[in-house]
Structure formats: structure tokens, C-alpha cells
Amino acid sequence: MKATDFDAWAQQQLVDVERALDAWVPADVPAGLGEAMRYGVLDGGKRLRPLLVLAACQAVNGLGAAAMRAAVAVELIHAYSLVHDDMPCMDNDVLRRGKPTVHVKFGQAQAMLAGDAMQALAFEVLTPMANERDAARQPPQQAEVPAALQARLCALLARAAGHAGMAGGQAIDLASIGQALDEAALRDMHRRKTGALLQASVQMGAACGDCGAVAWQALAGYGATIGLAFQVVDDILDVTQASETLGKTAGRDQHHNKPTYVSLLGLAAARDHAEALRQQAHAALARSGLGDAASVLAVLADKVVERES
């Protein structure tokens, strides 16, 4: 796939994702909650998880309307985790996507509630209801999603977000501060903390189509691999980039005395590791048998490793 073709595809998808997020995250919630939710998720972020959902759906020729719901839902889960993660009792970060964090702008209580409501909203988005009283809040272009697919998407997302996935990884992360983790323990932490949701993004997209067992397993492997690559690159960028480029506080891993791939392997070996994972991701796509349909996923693997913020 040519870089220009990918860019055109991604640009169109991002327009659609932003429009769907804007339509789904309500402005008209009392007491400022809607404002805090919208602040936490709109106009920011690379939207990597939505792009993975949509690219995986395209790779299996899946149901686009379902994938767009999944894309919105997974981004809501990601965004809520950042809102909670930034709070004083967790990482105590004041800068995110180049703006003050949600708790700095709206207060801690509202930030906690906004995160909680964003998680619930993710599952609302996945389960459209007919005759809903608040139908006015739903984007008009939403097509019907089969109930079995709704349930499957909820199942994948809940497991990736919960104790076995993201929340569990964050608990390990908390406990690891100041600890010396070996590479296996570090990998386990990141497999849960960031990897599970990235992998689930690919799986949710694949679930929107009729995907055979071979392709399903290959795509799950691809998702796990880029999930790990994403974190290795995150650790590299934390020490090599300035805060302005990252849009968040640079050097915070070291500041928080957190174990990272760079602190464990050194910078050069961490870069080699990221490159090896990129190759593994491509190999997984080759195994999938999906051919050219998976070419967007291939470019996304490159983007994950080559990104500079």
C-alpha cells in the first residue's frame, strides 16, 4: 500500500470517528458532567485504537456500522483510563494532549465521575436500543447491528478493560513503582495495561466480519504484538522526546521511578526490540491469509513503531 493511499484512508476514517464521538458523547448532561466527558475524549489523541478496529473490519470485509460503534467504544475506554490515570492518587499528571488534564480543569470528583460515565457509555454505544427515549442523542447514520455481534463486542471490550486487562495492568504498574521487574514481568504488565485494549481493538474489528479461525488467531497475534511494540516505543519516546512533542509530561517514567524497556534493556536494545516486534506483526498478517485486505493493518504496524509522539 502506498503511503499516500494510507494517509487518505486514515484521514477519512478519522473524520468519521470524530463525528461519531461528537454525536455520542453528550453535551447536555447536567452539572457539567457532559462537558468533562467531552473534554476528556474529543479533539485529541491519535485515535490508534479506532483505526485498528476499522482496519481490521476492512481486512475481513466486516460490517462498517458495527465497527464504527466499536471504534467509538474502545476510544471511550482508552480516554476514561487516561482521565483516571492522570489523577493525583495515580500518576498525578497535569498535562495531557497538550492541555490541562481533566481533574485540573474540572476537579477530581468530576474527573472520576466523567471517567466512570465514559466507561458506561462505551457499552451503551455497543448496544443500540430500539425505541430509545433519548433517540435524539444517537447519530442518524447508525445501521442495525445484530444482537450476537453486540454481545460479542461487549464481551471482548469488557475483558480487555477489566481486571484481566487494562485495570489489572494498572494495578501491577502501581505496585511496580521502585521495583526491579525482569523483562517477563514487564511484558506481562504491559500486555495487560496497554496491550489488551490494542489487541481487543483488532479483535473487535475482526468480529465485525465472518473471519475464519486461522485469520482470527493471526489477527489476535498481530494485535498482541503491536500492543507490545506500542509500549516499547512509548518507553523510548519518554526519554527521547520533549514534552511539547509528546503533548504530555516527558520523562515521567523516570520521575515516577517506573521500570521501562529502556531502563531494563537500554535505549539501543529497546529500539531493536521494537523493530523485531514490527517484523513479527508483519509475519502475523502474512499468516492470516487475508492478503492485500490486511495492507492497512501492515501500515499501522509501521506507524506504531515509527511514531514520534
Interacting residues toward a second copy by CB under 8 A: 26, 29-34, 37, 80-81, 84, 87, 89-90, 107-110, 112-113, 115-117, 119-124, 126-129, 134, 147-148, 150-152, 154-155, 157-159, 161-165, 167-168, 170-172, 174-176
Shortest approach of a second copy to residue 163 CB, angstroms? 4
Shortest approach of a second copy to residue 87 CB, angstroms? 7
Shortest approach of a second copy to residue 27 CB, angstroms? 11
Nearer to a second copy, 117 or 232 (CB): 117
Q: Is residue 243 within 8 Å of 95, Cβ to Cβ?
A: yes
Shortest approach of a second copy to residue 179 CB, angstroms? 10
Nearer to a second copy, 81 or 260 (CB): 81
Shortest approach of a second copy to residue 15 CB, angstroms? 25
Task: Count CB neighbours of 225 within 10 A.
Answer: 26
What is the full DSSP assignment across the chain? --HHHHHHHHHHHHHHHHHHHHHHS-S--GGGHHHHHHHHHSS-S--HHHHHHHHHHHHTT--HHHHHHHHHHHHHHHHHHHHHHTSTTTT---EETTEE-HHHHH-HHHHHHHHHHHHHHHHHHHS--TT-TTGGGS-TTPPP--HHHHHHHHHHHHHHHSTTTHHHHHHHHHHHTT----HHHHHHHHIIIIIHHHHHHHHHHHHTS---HHHHHHHHHHHHHHHHHHHHHHHHHHHHS-HHHHTS-TTHHHHTT---HHHHH-HHHHHHHHHHHHHHHHHHHHHHT-GGGGHHHHHHHHHHHH---
Shortest approach of a second copy to residue 81 CB, angstroms? 8
Shortest approach of a second copy to residue 277 CB, angstroms? 22
Nearer to a second copy, 168 or 195 (CB): 168
Nearer to a second copy, 122 or 274 (CB): 122
Nearer to a second copy, 176 or 240 (CB): 176
Nearer to a second copy, 40 or 298 (CB): 40
Nearer to a second copy, 36 or 228 (CB): 36
125, 193, 238, 243, 261 from 254: Cα distances, Å:
37, 18, 9, 14, 12
